[in-house]
A and B are shown apart, each in its own frame.
Chain A
Amino acid sequence: MSRRASWWRAGARLAFGCVAAATLGVCLPRAAAQVTPPGAAGTPVAGATAARGASPAPGSERAPGLELLPPGAARSPTPSDEIFPPQSLPLRFDHKKHVQGLRVRCTSCHAAAITSDAASDRLLPAGTTCDGCHGSDHGAREGARGTGSLGRCDLCHAGAAGAGIARVVVPPPNLRFSHRLHAARNIGCGQCHGRVGEVGLATRDALPRMAGCVRCHDTIGPGQGAAKAECPTCHLTRADGRLVQAFATGPLVPPRWLRGAEHGADWIERHRAAAAEDSGFCASCHTARECADCHDGRVRPRSVHPNDYLSMHGIAARQDSPRCVSCHQEATFCADCHRRAGVARDAASGSRATGRRFHAPPGEWTAAPRGPGHHAWEAMRNLGACVSCHTERDCATCHATKGVPGGQGVNPHPPGFASACAGPLRRNPRPCLVCHASGDRHLGACR
């Protein structure tokens, strides 16, 4: 029995540990390590596709750590698939050997980088760039085979031994970017691409992270230059000024560290504060129409009001969850339907159900003294719910001062109201005059 219990305990511990670790990302593969390594130099890697991930330097068994990756990689281990679509790099290349060993400058191979004004410019060196040193001839119609060992196709091209040269596919980034402007501000390659000179093949992992971009774009003062941390500075925009969001690799959504606006599973419940704080940020991607579809909607959004909401909306309104006034003007939207259904107190005589009462009996709901079931408490807690059925006339029936037709003189005001009423009376006397006669002593005291 005890052995079985210990097995259970061990199993439970293991399961809990795995769930916790998976949740924290410990036992799941690191995003940065999700690579199809092109292999170490000299090893055939036919068909290798570096779709993502950093390449180990020759002789190293490990992919480069954070220290070699671009700034911001701690927050975003891999670059965005939407901004930098997956690439196919069936190549072998050793940046470390070229940059550190042979002292080749970045611009020796990527000469166009310092004059490029568009992110779509192709800045990878053409094969002919390599010919000078490798002795190959990429310009030759029949092929680029060189004569020496440095000129062998399969030295650089994966799959060259048998199946022919696999094509390098690097889709243009979905980005607005000028290498020229950055270079002109003396921003070195490594400031965006990390220590790319110390890795083997530079893959997508050497591409910039947004978290790294905003490190400079966020600064205040001359260091920032003209490029503020506004979305269209870098992101592609539509004709209406919003960001292009639909890409073949998925929709563009904000990372969690950006304005705390991660559109997670509970975003529908949390987005209110973000929109209230900075709707302009929301408008980077969303139109007023998208907001109106729910907040002034005429088709019930099921993500907000689930199935059969008509049956349960009464108690939802009592709990004010979701908050009715987020989308509805209660005196019209709610009350119009309640009047038609005969629920509202001022429903037309033909719609009212005779002998039916929505609330508790009058002895409990309206008559003094004020017991736990008295309407006063409900009104104090959730006055908005009252408004969804009642008009001023219903309340003035009792709360108007004696002397005003219908008035019973039941004071609805909070303590201390008499000393604070002068301003409201001056700015708008209308509500006062609903319950008080113009010569009323209370109004006189207020004035």
Chain B
Amino acid sequence: MPERRGLRAASARRAALVAAVLAGAAARDARATELEVDARTAAQAYQVTGPWTGSVLDRRRLTQTLGLAAYDLQGTRRVGAPSYSVALLLRLDADFGVNDRLASDQAGGETTYSGPAAAGSRYVPGLRPAPIDLVYGYVEGRDLAHGWLGFRLGRQVVSDVLGWWSFDGALVRLTTPAHVRAEVYGGFEQRGGLPLSTARYESQGVWRGSHSDFGVSGDSPRLTDYPSYQYAAPAPAFGVVAESVGLGFGHARVDYRRVYDSGVSVTQQFPDARGGYRAIDGLRLSSEKVGVAAEGDVLGRARARAGLAWDLHAARAGSAFGSVEGYLGRRVTLGADVDWFAPTFDADSIWSWFTHAGVLTTTGRVGARLSREADVAASAGARQWYTEGDPTTFAASECQAAAREGRIATANCASGGTFDASTGAARDAASQDASRATTATTDGIANASARYAWPSGLASARASLRVGARGRRVGGDVVGEKRLSGGRYTLGARTSLYDWADPERPERNATSFGYVIGVGFRPATSGALRLEWEHDMNRLVGQRFRVLALLDVWVGR
């Protein structure tokens, strides 16, 4: 028996060596134009319950993505020589559950304003049962003019310190031998309500969409029925970038981007005496941001990284981060991270000018690679939330000011007596600097994760804790996946246990246990099927189920 095992081991070793040789050889081939087709069909069915009983949405979703790409359109590929390619990714996201829960007298009411039921009694402006969008689609040229120039033309995604963003237009990249690269781009921001577009990349705070079915007939919604639902219109945008390139010890990048809103926008949220609404038209700023980020080596034993995104319109830092990590021995990494985030909004949004603060998160972390297969990581820290004024004493100072004017008895301040705080000394007290001093509340956060991966499987576990004045959430999950017959079959499982409590809504406190069982089948080298069954249980929803089927087909990938 030992001899047989030895033979098997030797055979496996030889097979691995042969595979390595073949893989290496295959990877080195220079080829002519290459085509890739990549399609994913995802079918999901699950239910969404509202916070109150009786409100259940059926989600029966079919998401179909289709990716097409052609590389090396110029013919034979040579390293450093000009190359051209096209790539696009189309997506259909249909939900057959839209309208489905409605009674027959309200049929189609979520997407159609008119109907047998009262006009608009179920209507959700902008809701589409089967939107199609182009995630990206562009022509690209690389290494033109002896490596100096590159371009992209079409819908493309930009990811930088300013965020994840998409536009339709052109990007030109100039790479110099002096380790500096410049980019200039311009076009139109991808916006919801425009053809083949989603609202994902718009700035926050504005609800926009197509009004094509508004005001077209007597039983369609009037143009002013939903004054907060803004008209989608092309949004001109441009940006410039400068960054270092080709330096392993560090990198730095500076970004500037400006986006404009255009077209009609209703401003007045309630009708005036004549029933009219005011609106504004024309080109106006949507967002203007500048960002800088850098990363580098510190004495060969640590790395440091920092970034800042500054909203020029709101004149505030939308986000900032910094981190440093040091290497203790060959296996252990120690790090500290700080992250600042303050919501910023489209310049069309009123929330840009509402008093609001950012969130500061500070954590320390440790990671250890125990072996080639196993690693663990843990982090812990604090998240601070800020307010202008102390929530615990603010009302008392208002009340005492009102009491001095005799509008309320001082004794009633302690018992929560009410008065009009928008006038007189109470209003003045609320606006005084002393009353608006910045006050912080702190949440504790902690994460831990571990992973063990071997050639035919993966086991991992993670746990997280969020605790503070804003509630508590603690839990974790364990995941296992095993590939059989060289990856032809896959078995997977995930189980989780979470507990949460929200002091604002204690009736929503719950403990949840859930598990997922999945099987996969790969009938060919260019296709895979995966089925998953999820079963969650908590006292709020009882039992909740979700099924997911994924079919991937690809050619040339």
Task: Verify that A and B bind, or say they do not.
Answer: yes
Q: Which residues of A contact B209 (CB under 8 A)?
A: 332
Is the pair A277, B466 in contact by a Cβ cutoff of 8 Å?
no
Is the pair B353, A424 in contact by a Cβ cutoff of 8 Å?
yes
A282 to chain B, nearest CB (A): 8
Residue pairs across A and B with Cβ atoms less than 8 A apart, 15 shown, are A260-B305, A276-B159, A298-B42, A310-B49, A314-B508, A319-B468, A331-B207, A346-B228, A369-B402, A372-B391, A379-B356, A381-B470, A382-B359, A400-B269, A424-B352
Mask of B438-475 contacts with A, CB within 8 angstroms, 1/0:
00010101010111000100001010001010110101
Mask of B537-555 contacts with A, CB within 8 angstroms, 1/0:
0101100100010100000
Within 8 A of A (CB), among B366-382: 367-371, 375-379
Mask of A393-422 contacts with B, CB within 8 angstroms, 1/0:
101110110001110111111110100110
Complexed CA–CA distance, A259 and B297 (Å) = 8
Residue of A nearest to B342 (CB): A383
Q: Say whether B392 faces chain A, with CB atoms less than 8 Å apart.
A: yes
Question: Known interface pairs A368-B418, A392-B269, A412-B355. Does A276 touch B161 (Cβ–Cβ under 8 Å)?
Answer: yes
Q: Say whether A387 faces chain B, with CB atoms less than 8 Å apart.
A: yes
Complexed CA–CA distance, A342 and B48 (Å) = 12
Is the pair A23, B394 in contact by a Cβ cutoff of 8 Å?
no
Q: Say whether B122 faces chain A, with CB atoms less than 8 Å apart.
A: yes
Contact residue among A169, A275, A337 (Cβ-Cβ distance under 8 Å from B17):
A169
Is the pair B379, A391 in contact by a Cβ cutoff of 8 Å?
no
Q: Which residues of A contact B272 (CB under 8 A)?
A: 405
Complexed CA–CA distance, A236 and B25 (Å) = 11
Is the pair A413, B67 in contact by a Cβ cutoff of 8 Å?
no
Q: Which residues of A contact B347 (CB under 8 A)?
A: 424, 427-428, 430-431
Q: Which residues of A contact B315 (CB under 8 A)?
A: 420, 423
Q: Say whether A45 faces chain B, with CB atoms less than 8 Å apart.
A: no
Is the pair B228, A391 in contact by a Cβ cutoff of 8 Å?
yes
Q: Say whether A435 faces chain B, with CB atoms less than 8 Å apart.
A: yes
Q: Is the interface on chain B under 10, 10 to 19, 20 to 34, or 35 or more residues?
A: 35 or more
Residue of B nearest to A363 (CB): B418
Is the pair B247, A315 in contact by a Cβ cutoff of 8 Å?
no
Is the pair B55, A248 in contact by a Cβ cutoff of 8 Å?
no
Q: Say whether A124 faces chain B, with CB atoms less than 8 Å apart.
A: no
A81 to chain B, nearest CB (A): 8
Mask of A78-95 contacts with B, CB within 8 angstroms, 1/0:
000000011010000000
Residue of A nearest to B418 (CB): A367
Q: Which residues of B contact A217 (CB under 8 A)?
A: 248
Q: Which residues of A contact B471 (CB under 8 A)?
A: 315, 318-319
Q: Which residues of B contact A306 (CB under 8 A)?
A: 475, 477, 496, 498, 514
Is the pair B293, A277 in contact by a Cβ cutoff of 8 Å?
yes
Is the pair A349, B121 in contact by a Cβ cutoff of 8 Å?
yes
Q: Which residues of B contact A356 (CB under 8 A)?
A: 51-52
Question: Known interface pairs A266-B379, A307-B514, A434-B267. Does A319 touch B443 (Cβ–Cβ under 8 Å)?
Answer: yes
Is the pair B548, A340 in contact by a Cβ cutoff of 8 Å?
no
Complexed CA–CA distance, A382 and B199 (Å) = 21
Is the pair A314, B502 in contact by a Cβ cutoff of 8 Å?
yes
Which of B163, B198, B343, B447 has most chain A Cβ within 10 Å? B343
Is the pair B398, A370 in contact by a Cβ cutoff of 8 Å?
yes
Q: Say whether A140 faces chain B, with CB atoms less than 8 Å apart.
A: no
Contact residue among A172, A259, A353, A410 (Cβ-Cβ distance under 8 Å from B52):
A353
Complexed CA–CA distance, A94 and B110 (Å) = 80
**Of the 9-residue stretches A3-11, A153-161, A225-233, which lies at the interface with chain B?**
A225-233
Is the pair A319, B473 in contact by a Cβ cutoff of 8 Å?
yes
Q: Say whether A106 faces chain B, with CB atoms less than 8 Å apart.
A: no
Q: Which residues of B contact A296 (CB under 8 A)?
A: 135, 198, 200
Q: Say whether B220 faces chain A, with CB atoms less than 8 Å apart.
A: no
Within 8 A of B (CB), among A338-372: 339-343, 346, 348-351, 353, 356, 358-360, 363, 367-372
Is the pair B303, A348 in contact by a Cβ cutoff of 8 Å?
no
Q: Say whether A147 faces chain B, with CB atoms less than 8 Å apart.
A: no
Is the pair B392, A372 in contact by a Cβ cutoff of 8 Å?
yes
Is the pair A311, B541 in contact by a Cβ cutoff of 8 Å?
yes
Question: Known interface pairs A24-B332, A289-B67, A424-B353. Does A85 touch B20 (Cβ–Cβ under 8 Å)?
Answer: yes
A373 to chain B, nearest CB (A): 8
Mask of B103-129 contacts with A, CB within 8 angstroms, 1/0:
000100110000001101111101100
Residue of A nearest to B92 (CB): A298
Is the pair B136, A288 in contact by a Cβ cutoff of 8 Å?
yes
Within 8 A of A (CB), among B327-362: 327-333, 337, 339, 341, 343, 345, 347-357, 359
Is the pair B343, A325 in contact by a Cβ cutoff of 8 Å?
yes
Mask of A263-294 contacts with B, CB within 8 angstroms, 1/0:
01110011011111111111000001101100
Complexed CA–CA distance, A247 and B253 (Å) = 32
Complexed CA–CA distance, A327 and B201 (Å) = 9
Q: Which residues of B contact A318 (CB under 8 A)?
A: 470-471, 502, 504
**Of the 9-residue stretches A131-139, A180-188, A238-246, which lies at the interface with chain B?**
A238-246
Question: Known interface pairs A274-B305, A279-B160. Does A269 touch B63 (Cβ–Cβ under 8 Å)?
Answer: no
Is the pair A240, B71 in contact by a Cβ cutoff of 8 Å?
yes
Mask of A292-310 contacts with B, CB within 8 angstroms, 1/0:
1001101100100011101
Q: Which residues of B contact A411 (CB under 8 A)?
A: 431
Which of A279, A391, A431 has most chain B Cβ within 10 Å? A431
Contact residue among B46, B110, B293, B504 (Cβ-Cβ distance under 8 Å from A278):
B293
Q: Say whether A440 faces chain B, with CB atoms less than 8 Å apart.
A: no
Is the pair A24, B328 in contact by a Cβ cutoff of 8 Å?
yes
Complexed CA–CA distance, A14 and B93 (Å) = 58
Is the pair B512, A308 in contact by a Cβ cutoff of 8 Å?
yes
B67 to chain A, nearest CB (A): 6
Question: Known interface pairs A228-B245, A259-B295, A434-B267. Does A370 touch B359 (Cβ–Cβ under 8 Å)?
Answer: no
Q: Say whether B268 faces chain A, with CB atoms less than 8 Å apart.
A: yes
B333 to chain A, nearest CB (A): 6
Is the pair B351, A257 in contact by a Cβ cutoff of 8 Å?
no
Residue of B nearest to A249 (CB): B20
Q: Which residues of B contact A376 (CB under 8 A)?
A: 355
B168 to chain A, nearest CB (A): 14
Is the pair B199, A396 in contact by a Cβ cutoff of 8 Å?
no
Q: Say whether B420 faces chain A, with CB atoms less than 8 Å apart.
A: yes
Is the pair B355, A24 in contact by a Cβ cutoff of 8 Å?
no
**Of the 9-residue stretches B83-91, B211-219, B521-529, which lies at the interface with chain A?**
B83-91
Is the pair A229, B246 in contact by a Cβ cutoff of 8 Å?
yes
Q: Say whether A129 faces chain B, with CB atoms less than 8 Å apart.
A: no
A289 to chain B, nearest CB (A): 6
Complexed CA–CA distance, A106 and B356 (Å) = 69
Mask of B29-51 contacts with A, CB within 8 angstroms, 1/0:
00100101010001010101111
Q: Which residues of B contact A359 (CB under 8 A)?
A: 504
Complexed CA–CA distance, A90 and B543 (Å) = 61
Question: Known interface pairs A85-B24, A278-B293, A367-B418. Does A319 touch B348 (Cβ–Cβ under 8 Å)?
Answer: no
Complexed CA–CA distance, A258 and B327 (Å) = 12
Residue of A nearest to B350 (CB): A431
Is the pair A269, B122 in contact by a Cβ cutoff of 8 Å?
no
Q: Known pairs A120-B25, A265-B460, A350-B109. 19 more at Cβ < 8 A?
A: A22-B370, A273-B339, A276-B293, A277-B293, A279-B159, A288-B157, A308-B496, A318-B504, A327-B200, A332-B126, A332-B207, A346-B228, A350-B117, A368-B421, A384-B204, A395-B351, A405-B268, A421-B353, A427-B313
Question: Known interface pairs A239-B34, A265-B377, A278-B295. Does A380 touch B386 (Cβ–Cβ under 8 Å)?
Answer: yes
Is the pair A77, B330 in contact by a Cβ cutoff of 8 Å?
yes
B297 to chain A, nearest CB (A): 8
Is the pair A174, B27 in contact by a Cβ cutoff of 8 Å?
yes
